[in-house]
Structure 1
Amino acid sequence: MAHLKVTVPENSQNILGIVTINAPLEKVFEAYTKEDLFAIWWCRGNPMKVYYFDCKDGGSWHVAEQSEDGNEYEFTGCFHEVAKNRRIVQTFEFLGMPERGHVMLEKAEFVAIAEHRTEIHTHSTAMSQEDRDGMVASGMESGWRQSVEALGKLLESDN
């Protein structure tokens, strides 16, 4: 079963996470970088509208979650680096804020810890500590955990 550990350091703009999943690194990386797989798990497993998803250095993405409460929640970002089976560096922005510009810079590093077990080490940095705290207060961890569970459901059944 996929597992998420989140750390929110005091007096910091960072959110740190470790995802552990019982799937080979290559399959996990593919689930992050292939639009059809990404659309299955990323928005907590809820239906997702993909406006565009160009997962490459300099590419960008824009998606909308179709949530169970009937609302649509839009997210966007730019890919700074996509190093196959090693690392993704990107921005992340929730478009439901009253104003734009509350962007996070995120780095995800993919580590094979066994043949069929992968860890993803994430480091997200907000523009300010206030932005980071707002993200945490919004229920970010619960949504992230649901997405990790959906990723596990997608990938772990194959092992």
Structure 2
Amino acid sequence: MANQLATKVEGQVLTLERVFNAPRELVFQAFTQSEHLKHWWGPRGWEITVSDMDFRPGGSWHYCFKCMDQSQGDFYGMESWGKAVYDQIETPERIVYTDYFSDAEGSLSDTMPPSHIVMTFETTDGGKTKVVNRAAYASAEALQTVLDMGMEQGIGETYDRLDEYLAAQQ
């Protein structure tokens, strides 16, 4: 990949940055419209099987991605449920939300740490878009919990899939 994910851990904050070769409006739509998300959200071999989105302040996105790749061994067939609750939206510049682990009914997990996310979309030279995702956890230990689960690799693969999807949309 010519454009790798830059990650930085500072205490209880994880910052992710990547530049996509697509206009800001399209990148923003890819993050905020269910019909786009189903094509790229999740690591390789995983697919969105449920996506209920109400994209507005106070709204939420309840989703499930499922491992469809038999070569992933014990992960095959596994489901991962999440729920994003939107606080602020400034189209196409910024999304502020809390990201939770959840179950199929949308109940929030009390065993997995949520994160408060500020995501920005910046136009760069050549009409590209820089996405900065700043995720704050309740503690450095909570952040370490999700890093130990392989979140960094999963997000890297997810953003690779987004890059491929955006290229196909243009």
Fold match by TM threshold 0.5: yes
**With structure 2 as the length reference, what TM-score do the two structures score?**
0.85
Q: Is the 8 A contact 1:25 1:117 kept in 2?
A: yes
The separation in 2 between residues aligned to 1:53 and 1:93, in whole angstroms, is 14
Q: Is the 8 A contact 1:24 1:115 kept in 2?
A: no
Q: Does 1:57 align with 2:57?
A: yes
| Letter matched to residue 133 of structure 1 | Q
Query: Which residue of structure 2 lines up, in the alignment, with residue 140 of structure 1?
Result: 151
Query: Which residue of structure 1 lines up, in the alignment, with residue 72 of structure 2?
Result: none
Query: Which residue of structure 1 lines up, in the alignment, with residue 99 of structure 2?
Result: 92
Query: Which residue of structure 1 lines up, in the alignment, with residue 6 of structure 2?
Result: 5
Query: Which residue of structure 2 lines up, in the alignment, with residue 48 of structure 1?
Result: 48
Please list the CA deviations of residues 88-126 of structure 1 after superposition, one character each: whole Å capped at 9, or x if unmatched: 011111237973462100010100003431101111001
RMSD of aligned residue pairs (Cα, Å): 1.9
Q: Is the 8 A contact 1:2 1:152 kept in 2?
A: no
How much has 1:80 moved relative to structure 2? 0.6
**With structure 1 as the length reference, what TM-score do the two structures score?**
0.90
Q: Is the 8 A contact 1:44 1:146 kept in 2?
A: yes
Query: Which residue of structure 1 lines up, in the alignment, with residue 66 of structure 2?
Result: 66
Query: Which residue of structure 2 lines up, in the alignment, with residue 15 of structure 1?
Result: 14
Q: What residue ranges of structure 1 are gaps of 5+ in the alignment?
A: none
Q: Does 1:39 align with 2:38?
A: yes
| Letter matched to residue 126 of structure 1 | Y
Which residue, out of 131, 138, 142, partners 1:120? 131
Q: What residue ranges of structure 2 are gaps of 5+ in the alignment?
A: 70-75
Q: Is the 8 A contact 2:41 2:47 kept in 1?
A: no
The separation in 1 between residues aligned to 2:160 and 2:14, in whole angstroms, is 19
Query: Which residue of structure 2 lines up, in the alignment, with residue 157 of structure 1?
Result: 168
SS at match of 2:124: strand
The separation in 2 between residues aligned to 1:152 and 1:42, in whole angstroms, is 11
| Letter matched to residue 95 of structure 1 | S
| Letter matched to residue 154 of structure 1 | Y
Please list the CA deviations of residues 49-86 of structure 1 after superposition, one character each: whole Å capped at 9, or x if unmatched: 22411111111111111113111111112011111010
Q: 1:37 to 1:158 in 2, by over 3 A?
A: closer
Query: Which residue of structure 2 lines up, in the alignment, with residue 81 of structure 1?
Result: 88
- Pick which of 43-52 and 26-35 moved more: 43-52
The separation in 1 between residues aligned to 2:109 and 2:86, in whole angstroms, is 24
Taking only the aligned residue pairs, the percentage that are identical comes to: 24
